[in-house]
Amino acid sequence: MIEVELKFRLREPEDLLARLIARGAVARDAELEQDVYFAHPGRDFSQSGEALRLRQSGGEAILTYKGPYLDRVSKSREEREVRLAGVGEVDGARTVLERLGFQPVRGVSKRRTTFQIPSEDLEILLVLDDVEGLGLFVELETLAEDAVWEAARERLNGLACELGLSDPERRSYLELLLLADSEGRT
């Protein structure tokens, strides 16, 4: 499956929330997500565009691989997730990764509120992220089969316009935080 995703820095959350309510979006409870990203021992993920992440959120633990970006506009790419048997497995998973040569790069902490956007043929989520050290962002995302991910991306682009979102941000939170770290802003 392809995760089709657009991300935007959010400057006026009140306007966005009003538009979401008008569209009938349904909010889920906010959750704290704590991620640790890992560097591959033999290739540079910052060059390949890949990512390996270990996430703790709401009593769950998930190991995620993200493949290289499929275009230069969105953050669309292959995504594979493995749900671990609970947050108690995070330390064990981290130890396995480190013994295989993967090294932790940096953590990313955020408070995430997820909204379900009504749609007839796609499950579209809008997530509002308050990222520690970066501020507010919004992501539009859906999962699509390989053959139709570009059509899904265009649907998300149209929805972004309807919601008043512009100037997509392709860099990951990890990239933005590493840049802020290097500039002494975190």
Residue ranges per domain, the chain? 2-182
Q: Supply the pTM of this predicted model.
A: 0.94
Span 144-164, mean pLDDT? 96
DSSP state of 60: E
How confident is the model over 72-100, as pLDDT tens digits? 999 999 999 999 998 889 999 999 999 99
How confident is the model over 31-44, as pLDDT tens digits? 999 999 999 999 99
Question: Which residue among the candidates 37, 65, 69, 173 is catalytic per the annotation?
Answer: 37
Is residue 156 within 8 Å of residue 144, measured between CB atoms? no
CATH code of the domain made up of 2-182 = 2.40.320.10
Chain centroid offset of residue 148 CA = 20
Where residue 126 falls among pLDDT bands split at 50, 70, 90?
very high
Residue 8: CB partners within 8 Å, gap ≥ 6? Answer: 137, 138, 139, 160, 165, 166, 167, 168, 169
How far apart (Å, rounded) are the C-alpha atoms in residues 8 and 18? 17
How confident is the model over 158-172, as pLDDT tens digits? 999 999 999 999 999
Is residue 111 within 8 Å of residue 28, measured between CB atoms? no
Q: Please give the backbone phi and psi of residue 47, each rounded to the nearest 5 degrees, phi first.
A: -90, -40
Span 108-122, mean pLDDT? 95
How far apart (Å, rounded) are the C-alpha atoms in residues 186 and 169? 19
Where residue 186 falls among pLDDT bands split at 50, 70, 90?
confident
Q: Is 37 a catalytic residue?
A: yes
How far apart (Å, rounded) are the C-alpha atoms in residues 82 and 62? 6
